[in-house]
C-alpha cells in the first residue's frame, strides 16, 4: 500500500474545495472559476498518477477509525481509478464549457460549488470501501443534483428537481435496507470482509433485489427512468454531468464494484437483469424516435445506452464486462458532447424543438461536426470508440449463449442509428428556419475536444481495453 496522499487528494480536494468557492465568488468571478477548474484538475491528476500502480496490480488504501466500528476506508484499485479518471476528465471539460454558458445567469456561486461537491461525492463513492460511507456519499450526490436540476428556480424546474430527488432517494433508501441486511448476515459494512463472508453463504435474491432498486433508480433504468428526461430543464452542462460524467454512472459503478468485484450476482438476476436492461433500451429508444425536444431526446438515448452497459456488466465474462466498462468511457465522452452541443443550439436559437430547427450546419459548422462525431460514437460506427464497446458487449453476450437478448439489443442498436440520424437531419440539414451563429470559443472548443476524444477512444482503444482486461483477469481469475 502506498501513495495515500494522492488517494486522499483525489477525494478531499473537490469535497473541501466546494465550500471555498462561494467565498471566492464574492471576491472575484475569475478566481472562483479558476479554483473550480483547479480542484477538478487536481482530482484528475491524482487519479492519473495512480494508473502505473494499477498496471502493476497494486492497490492503495487509507483508513481512519471511528467509534462503533464505522471505520472510514478509502480503497483504490483499477476499477476505481478508471472511473475517477473518466468522470474527472469529463467534469473538467464541462466546467470549461460552463464559464461561457453560465455567465448569463444568477446563482453562479451555488452552481460551481454544487458541481465540484457533486464530483467530490462521486470520488467518495468511487473509493469508499465501506457500504455505509458509500451510501452517505450517494445521498450527497442526490442533494447536489437536486439543486442543480432546479438551477433556474422556476415552478416547473423545482417540480422536476423534486421528482428526481424523490425517485433517487427512494431507491437509495431501498438500497440501504439491502446494505443493512448484508451487515446482519456478515457483521460488517467492509467490502473486503463481505467478499469473504458471502463465499460461504451467498446473499439472497431479495437482498440483491433491494440493492438493484437503488442502482436502477440512480441509473434511470426502466421503470425508474422518467426523472432523467424531465431533468432536461437544467442547464446543458448540468445535464451533461447527469448523463455523461457522474450521476447515472454512479449506479453502473456501484453495480460493477459490488457484483463484478466483490459479490456473486446469482443465477436469477443474471438471467433477469439483461432482459430488464434490454426492455429499457428498446422502450427508451422508441421514445427518442418520437421526441421533438432535443434535450429530452438525448436523455432517452442515455436511458437506452445505459441498458447496453448493464447488459455488458451482467454477462459475467471478461469480454462482456470489459465492453461494459469501456462503454462507460465512450458513452461519457460522446453523450457529454451531444448535450453540450444541444446547449449551444438552445442558447443561440432560443428553442429545443427540433421541428423548428434546420440548416444549422451552414451557420454552426463546428457544432454540427462535433454533434456528428459524437453521434457516430453513440451509434457504434467504426472507428469511433462506441463501436468497440458495443462489439465487446455483443461478443461477450454471444460467447455466453445469450442469443435472444442479444437480438433485442441489436434492434436497439439499429434504433439508435435511426433517431440520431433523424436529429442530425432535422437540426443541421435542409433549409435555415432560424437565424443563428456559432457558440463562444470556450463552448465550441469543449464540444470539439469531446468529438476528437470520441474518435481517439476508438483509434487508441487498445490502451483502455488492456487496462481493463488486465484488471478483470486478476479479479475474475481469483473469483
Q: How far apart are CA 120 and CA 39, in angstroms?
A: 9
CA pair distance 436, 470, nearest whole angstrom: 48
Confidence class of residue 1 from pLDDT cuts 50, 70 and 90?
very low
Which residue's C-alpha cell is 461477450? 396
| CA-based torsion, 370, 375, 381, 383: positive or negative | positive
Q: Give the pLDDT confidence of 62-98 residue by residue, as tens digits.
A: 988 877 667 889 999 999 999 999 999 999 999 999 9
Of the pLDDT bands very low, low, confident and very high (cuts 50, 70, 90), residue 310 is very high
Which residues lie below 8 Å from residue 76, measured CB to CB, with a gap of 6+? 7, 10, 50, 54, 59, 60, 61, 127
Residue 477 confidence (pLDDT) above 60: no
Dist CA 334 CA 454 (whole Å):
6
Cell output for 344: 449551444
Residue 448: Cβ within 10 Å count = 17
End-to-end Cα spacing for the chain: 22
124 closest CA partner among 147, 141, 143: 141
Q: Kindly report the pTM of this predicted structure.
A: 0.94
Summary mean pLDDT of the chain: 90
Average pLDDT over residues 22-45: 94
Beta carbons within 8 Å of 30's beta carbon, 6+ residues apart: none
The residues near 304 (Cβ < 8 Å, ≥ 6 apart) are 280, 281, 282, 284, 285, 288, 412, 415, 416
Which pLDDT does position 439 carry in this prediction?
84
Q: What is the pLDDT of residue 471?
A: 87
Place of cell 423534486: 162
DSSP character string of 34-52: HHHHHHHHHHHHHHHHTHH
Amino acid at each position: 500500500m502506498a501513495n495515500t496522499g494522492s488517494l486522499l487528494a483525489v477525494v478531499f480536494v473537490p469535497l473541501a474545495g466546494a465550500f471555498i468557492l462561494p467565498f471566492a465568488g464574492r471576491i472575484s468571478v475569475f478566481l472562483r472559476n479558476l479554483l473550480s477548474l483547479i480542484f477538478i484538475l487536481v482530482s484528475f491528476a491524482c487519479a492519473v498518477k495512480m494508473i502505473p500502480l494499477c498496471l502493476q496490480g497494486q492497490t492503495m488504501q487509507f483508513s481512519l477509525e471511528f467509534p462503533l466500528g464505522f471505520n472510514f476506508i478509502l480503497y483504490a484499485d483499477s476499477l476505481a481509478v478508471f472511473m475517477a479518471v473518466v468522470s474527472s476528465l469529463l467534469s473538467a471539460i464541462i466546467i470549461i464549457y460552463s464559464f461561457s454558458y453560465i455567465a448569463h445567469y444568477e446563482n453562479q456561486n451555488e452552481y460551481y460549488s454544487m458541481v465540484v461537491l457533486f464530483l467530490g461525492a462521486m470520488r467518495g463513492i468511487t473509493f469508499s470501501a465501506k457500504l455505509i460511507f458509500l451510501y452517505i456519499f450517494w445521498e450527497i450526490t442526490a442533494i447536489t443534483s437536486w439543486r442543480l436540476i432546479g438551477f433556474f428556480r422556476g415552478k416547473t424546474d423545482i417540480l422536476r428537481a423534486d421528482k428526481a430527488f424523490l425517485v433517487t432517494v427512494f431507491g437509495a433508501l431501498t438500497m440501504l435496507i439491502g446494505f443493512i441486511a448484508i451487515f446482519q448476515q456478515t457483521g460488517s459494512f467492509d467490502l473486503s470482509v463481505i467478499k469473504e463472508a458471502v463465499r460461504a453463504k451467498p446473499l439472497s435474491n431479495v437482498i440483491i433485489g433491494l440493492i438493484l432498486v437503488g442502482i436502477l433508480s440512480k441509473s434511470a433504468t426502466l421503470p425508474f427512468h422518467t426523472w432523467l428526461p424531465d431533468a432536461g430543464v437544467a442547464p446543458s452542462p448540468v445535464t451533461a454531468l447527469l448523463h455523461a460524467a457522474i450521476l447515472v454512472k454512479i449506479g453502473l459503478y456501484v453495480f460493477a464494484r459490488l457484483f463484478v468485484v466483490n459479490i456473486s450476482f446469482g443465477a436469477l438476476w443474471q438471467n433477469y437483469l439483461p432482459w430488464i436492461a434490454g426492455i429499457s433500451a428498446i422502450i427508451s429508444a422508441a421514445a427518442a424516435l418520437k421526441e421533438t425536444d432535443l434535450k429530452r431526446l438525448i436523455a432517452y438515448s442515455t436511458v437506452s445506452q445505459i441498458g447496453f452497459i448493464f447488459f455488458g456488466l451482467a454477462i459475467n465474462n471478461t469480454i462482456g464486462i470489459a465492453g461494459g466498462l469501456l462503454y462507460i468511457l465512450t458513452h461519457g465522452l460522446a453523450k457529454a458532447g451531444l448535450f453540450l452541443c444541444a446547449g449551444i443550439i438552445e442558447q443561440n436559437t432560443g428553442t429545443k424543438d427540433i421541428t423548428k430547427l434546420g440548416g444549422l450546419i451552414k451557420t454552426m459548422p463546428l457544432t454540427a461536426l462535433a454533434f456528428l462525431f459524437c453521434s457516430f460514437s453513440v451509434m457504434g460506427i467504426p472507428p469511433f470508440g462506441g463501436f468497440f464497446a458495443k462489439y465487446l458487449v455483443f461478443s461477450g453476450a454471444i460467447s455466453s449463449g445469450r442469443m435472444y437478448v442479444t437480438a433485442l439489443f441489436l434492434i436497439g442498436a439499429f434504433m439508435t442509428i435511426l433517431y440520431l440520424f433523424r436529429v442530425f437531419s432535422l437540426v443541421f440539414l435542409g433549409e435555415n428556419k432560424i437565424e443563428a451563429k456559432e457558440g463562444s470559443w470556450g463552448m465550441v472548443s469543449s464540444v470539439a475536444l469531446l468529438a476528437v476524444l470520441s474518435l481517439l477512444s476508438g483509434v487508441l482503444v487498445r490502451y483502455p481495453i488492456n487496462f481493463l482486461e488486465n484488471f478483470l483477469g486478476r479479479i475474475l481469475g481469483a473469483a
